[in-house]
Structure 1
Amino acid sequence: MHSYIINHNIHFNCGFPLTTNNVMTAIHNTNDVLEKLPASLFRSIDYKTTSAMIGCILCENIALTTDGAAIVNPIEKGHPDIVPHKAVGSTEEQLRNYPIGLEVKCTIGGVPKDVNINKAAPRIDYISNVTWQAHHQEVNELFGITFDYIRTPSGYKPVISATFYSDELCVSDWGDISGTEGRNTKVCGMKASGKTKMGAGWFAILSDTPIYWQKYSYLFKIVAK
C-alpha cells in the first residue's frame, strides 16, 4: 500500500456524508485496481484515456465508501461525477447539471516541450505545471487528482500521486472555452486563481519518496503540512 501525507482539515461539501477516511480508502482501492492491470495497457493508451480511467475507478470507489449515500452519476456526460443517492429518480436533463455532488478531474501534469519521456514512465521529476480542464466554466466545486507511474514487479503502472479540493471556484477561475466549433469537445482550463484555491485545499500527497511533496508543495505554494 502506498503512503500519503494527509491534510485532515479538509471538509467535503458535496451534498452527502464524505469523510477523509472514506476518500483515502477509495484512493487506496483505486491504486489496488490499477496495480492489477497489465503494464502493457498503459503503454498502449494515451494519457487522456488513462486519466479518464483513473477518474472513473476513483469515482466508483468513493461512491462505494458512502454506504449507499451517493452514486456515480448514471449518465455519461453528467455533472457532477458523484451525486447523492436521491438523484436516482432525476431526469437525464437534471443529471447533466445536478445542483450538488462531487466533481472529479484527473491529470498527469505538464512537462516542458523540450523534455522527452518514455511512455508510461515516471514524470514527477519533470512536471512543471498542473492544470485541470472542465467542459464549462460553472464548475465551482472540484476534487482534482494527479497521477504518476510507479515501478511494480510487472512494470510501470499509474498511481494517484496527489489530490486537491475546493468548493470555492467561480467562473473567473476558468479560462475561455475552446473547441466550440465542429465536433471538438468543449473544454476550458483552470487559471492561476483556481490553482491557488486548489493548493489551499490540498488533501493527500504521495509520500513513498520525498519528491512528490517537494514538487507539489512548490507548484501549489503549499506552506505547511
Structure 2
Amino acid sequence: MTYMMNQQFNIYCGFSVNSQHIETALNQTNNILETLPSTLYKSIDYKTTSSIIGAICCESIANVTGAIVNPIEKGHPDLIPKDGKNLSEELLRNYPVGLEVKCTVGNIKQGANLRAGQTRIKSLTGITWQAHHREVRELLGLVWDFVKGTHEFNYPMITAAFYSNDLVVEDWGEISGTEGRNTKVTGMKVSGRIKMGKGWIALLNNEEYINAYQKALKINIK
C-alpha cells in the first residue's frame, strides 16, 4: 500500500511526530493486520476491529518516535513521552501532553449489509470519530476499510490519517449512554470533522478513496 502524504506535517506533543513517522507506523500496522487470521475479523464487530487497529498503530508510532503507549488502560492521551513510564495511575489518567489516537471505519448507506472482508468505500456516507468525553482537543484520527489486495480475504487496512489540535467542546455532540451500564460516547460534529479534514496527513493513494474522503471531510489537497 502507498499513501499520498502531507510532507509538511510536523508536530511536537511532548515528542516529535512527522509525516515520515506516520507513514512508517501505518505500513507497520497494515503488515501486522495481514498476519492475523481472517476468522478473527469475521467473528468480532467493527468497534473491536477499530480498537485492535488503534492499539497496533499506537505501538507502531511509539516505536518510531521514542514515545510510549500510556501504561494504564484508561489513561489519556494514548501516547505520552517516555518520561511518564513510571508515574502514578492518577497522573497518567489525564497526562498533560501526548497524542490521542482514535479509529473509525466510517458510516455507510442504510441497508448496505456489508460484512467483514467486504470493502465499504463505495457505500461510505461519512466519517465520524467517537470519544468518551467532549474535552478531546488534540486528535490523530485514523480511518480504515477492508481493502482489496492480493489475498482472497480483504484485510482491514488504515486508509487515511488526519490531525487537529484545535478541537473544542462544541465540536463534539451530546454524550449518549449516560444511563444504565451503556458506554458513554460522543460523536464528532461537522465542525470538528472539517478541522480534521484540514489536517490531513495520509490518504491511501487510490482515487476512489481520495475522492470519498475529500467529500466526507471537505479536504483541500494543495
TM range (shorter): over 0.9
1:111-166 CA deviation, whole Å, 9 max, x = no partner? 12122223331001111010000111110000000101123324111010111000
Which runs of 5 or more structure 1 residues have no equivalent in the other structure?
none
The equivalent of 2:62 in structure 1 is: 63
Shift of 1:81: 0.4
- Sequence identity (%): 52
1:76 matched to 2:70: no
- Paired residues, what number? 221
Q: Which runs of 4+ in 1 moved over 3 A?
A: none
In structure 2, the partner of 1:133 is: 130
What residue is the counterpart of 2:9 in the other structure?
A: 10
Please give the TM-score of this superposition, normalised by the length of structure 2. Answer: 0.96
Asked if structure 2 preserves the Cα contact closer than 8 Å seen for 1:39 and 1:154, the reply is no
Task: Please say if residues 117 and 153 of structure 2, whose CA atoms lie closer than 8 Å, have aligned partners that are also in contact.
Answer: no
Residue 190 of structure 1 aligns to which amino acid in structure 2? M
Code of the residue aligned with 2:41 in structure 1: it is F
Q: Is 1:150 paired with 2:147?
A: yes
SS state at 2:142 partner: strand
**TM-score, L = length of structure 1:** 0.94
2:194 is matched with which residue?
Answer: 196
For 2:154, the aligned partner's letter is Y
Q: CA RMSD in A?
A: 1.2
- State the match for 1:214 in structure 2: 211
Determine the structure 2 residue equivalent to 1:170.
168
Secondary structure, aligned partner of 2:146:
strand
Q: How does 1:14-163 map to 2 (within 5 A)?
A: 14-66=13-65, 68=66, 70-151=67-148, 152-163=150-161
Partner AA of 2:58 in structure 1? C
Question: Within 2, Cα distance between the matches of 1:140 and 1:109?
Answer: 21
- Counterpart-to-counterpart distance in 2, 1:60 and 1:223: 30
